[in-house]
């Protein structure tokens, strides 16, 4: 199936079976491995990417469905020069990362949250990541990292 989409500002054109998931396209066809495969049942959020700015579980999302749309993965969040977004920097500064396997998915989910709501409260942050599992951190430092970014926006 012919599919064209914009991936992190790059134009992509591929021929893929209609059953191919976006995660498989990203990881195996395009060898862009920042999006993680952890459950392949849309449960853990490690594979989260943005489709036209909206977070989706790429492991259960058909590549064919992004035809004509824009896909953002973790590799597309910061600058090509390696610069980080305020949220990425805040994750680093606030110890929101341990093993880091859930981090890409969380960053995309939370980037979408901050786009829609630059000053989320704790409850809103917790609700936003209810589809992202983290086994290491117990979540508190993740929530604090988001709060720190929104505080910065406010000041």
State the number of binding residues for other proteins (CB under 8 A): 56
Least distance CB 45 / other proteins (angstroms): 10
Q: Are 50 and 39 in contact (CB under 8 A)?
A: no
User: Per-residue b/e over 10-47, b at no fewer than 16 CB within 10 Å?
Assistant: eebeeebeeebbbbbbbbeeeebebbbbbeeeeebbbb
Question: Which parts of the chain are beta strand (E)?
Answer: 2-7, 10-15, 48-51, 54-57, 70-72
| Binding to other proteins in span 68-127, by CB under 8 A | 73-75, 77-78, 82, 84, 88-89, 91-95, 97-104, 107, 123, 125-127
Q: Which stretch binds other proteins (CB under 8 A): 35-43, 63-71, 112-120, 147-155?
A: 35-43
Smallest CA-to-CA distance from 129 within 143, 116, 118 is with 143
* Closest CB to other proteins among residues 66, 125: 125
* 149 touches other proteins by CB under 8 A: no
Cα 73 to Cα 127: distance, rounded to the nearest angstrom: 21
Residue 135 CB, nearest approach to other proteins (Å): 5
List residues binding other proteins (CB under 8 A).
28, 31-41, 43-44, 46, 73-75, 77-78, 82, 84, 88-89, 91-95, 97-104, 107, 123, 125-127, 129-130, 132-143
């Amino acid at each position: 199936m012919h599919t064209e989409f914009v991936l992190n500002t790059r134009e992509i054109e591929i021929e893929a079976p209609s059953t191919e998931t976006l995660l498989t396209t990203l990881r195996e066809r395009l060898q862009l491995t920042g999006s993680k495969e952890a459950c392949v049942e849309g449960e853990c959020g490690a594979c989260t990417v943005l489709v036209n700015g909206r977070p989706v579980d790429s492991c259960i999302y058909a590549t064919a469905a992004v035809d004509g749309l824009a896909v953002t993965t973790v590799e597309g969040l910061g600058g090509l020069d390696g610069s980080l977004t305020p949220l990425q920097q805040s994750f680093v500064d606030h110890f929101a990362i341990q093993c880091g396997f859930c981090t890409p998915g969380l960053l995309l989910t939370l980037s979408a949250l901050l786009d829609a709501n630059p000053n989320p409260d704790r409850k809103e942050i917790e609700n936003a990541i209810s589809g992202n599992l983290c086994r290491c951190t117990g979540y508190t430092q993740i929530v604090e990292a988001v709060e720190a970014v929104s505080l910065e926006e406010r000041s």
